[in-house]
Amino acid sequence: MNLDETFMPRGTRPAPSTDTETLVVGAIEERSYVAGPGTRSVVWVSGCHRRCPGCLKPDLFSFEAGRKISVDEVYQRLALLAGVDGVTFSGGEPFEQPLALARLAARLRAIGRNIVIYTGYRHREMVNNGHEGMRLLLAETDILIDGEYREDLENPGRWRGSANQGLVPLSTRGRDLLAAAAELPALQEIQVSSDGTHMRLTGCPDGGFFNRWLVELERRGLVVVPRAGGETK
């Protein structure tokens, strides 16, 4: 397959989805310990026009990757989980599906979950020049991790992949969570989970990690086959 038939040209900014009911989701991790403060679920949405070199989720570059799931279905699945503090939206680019995510975030916050969002946009850019959907989703966000991933920059740890990315508190709760996290060492944390058939990597390791990991697994007799088009388990 010619990738450019399915991926948008790098840097081409798509029109944001106006869908309020349905998300295109690449994957869901019910419990993560490395994608923000505390124990969190992670929802990776599909589609990102940036195509940052070294991105850990190139299978989610395509806006066709993953599958359509209703906001209600995602909410029901996440709301049932006990002992989870918050939900992280990553991708892909969450702000390309802002209306459905804002609805999901509002419902999750109403049951006590805090919301962390990864985005390639800068907070200032969205506040000054963003569309209405961006403002709605920002209003339901506690912590924004903003800025494109840059593999040429140092990894500062604490949930970020490169030193240009910011940790922006957007609520009192977000400020409190970041203040508590600042008391702890800024580690590069990685979680590898498996459902017995598939492995999934969560977290923001340094740029060379993924290849080193694949080489090491291969050395031990394990061959990792990337899945095409995202997955939704």
b (16+ CB within 10 A) / e for 153-185 = bebbebbbbbebbebbbbbebbeebbeebeeee
Q: Which residues on adjacent β-strands are paired with residue 145?
A: 118, 167
Minimum CB separation from ligand SF4 for residue 117, in Å? 11
Collapsed DSSP state (helix, strand, coil) of residue 138: helix
Q: Which two tokens stand for residue 10?
A: 């790098």
By C-beta, is 37 or 207 nearer to ligand SF4? Answer: 207
Q: How far is the CB of 138 from ligand SF4 (least distance, A)?
A: 17
Cα–Cα nearest to 231, from 33, 62, 113: 62
Asked if 202 and 157 count as a contact pair (C-beta separation under 8 A), the reply is no
CB of 169 to ligand SF4, least distance (A): 20
**Residue 44 pairs with which residues in a beta bridge?**
27, 90
Chain-centre distance of CA 214, in angstroms?
Answer: 22
Minimum distance of ligand SF4 from residue 59's CB (angstroms): 10
Calculate the alpha carbon distances from 72 to 28, 171, 184 in Å: 14, 25, 36
Q: How far is the CB of 82 from ligand SF4 (least distance, A)?
A: 30
Q: Which is nearer to ligand SF4, 107 or 115 (CB)?
A: 115
Closest CB to ligand SF4 among 31 and 51? Answer: 51
- Residues of this chain that interact with ligand SF4 (CB under 6 A) are 48, 50-52, 55, 57, 91-93, 120, 148-149
Nearer to ligand SF4, 41 or 119 (CB): 119
Tell me: cis bond preceding 92? Omega within 30 of 0 counts. yes
Q: How far, in Å, are 119, 129, 179 from residue 167 at the CA level?
A: 11, 20, 11
Closest approach of ligand SF4 to the CB of residue 122, in Å: 12
Closer Cβ to ligand SF4, 60 or 170, answer by number: 60
36 or 75: CB nearest ligand SF4: 36
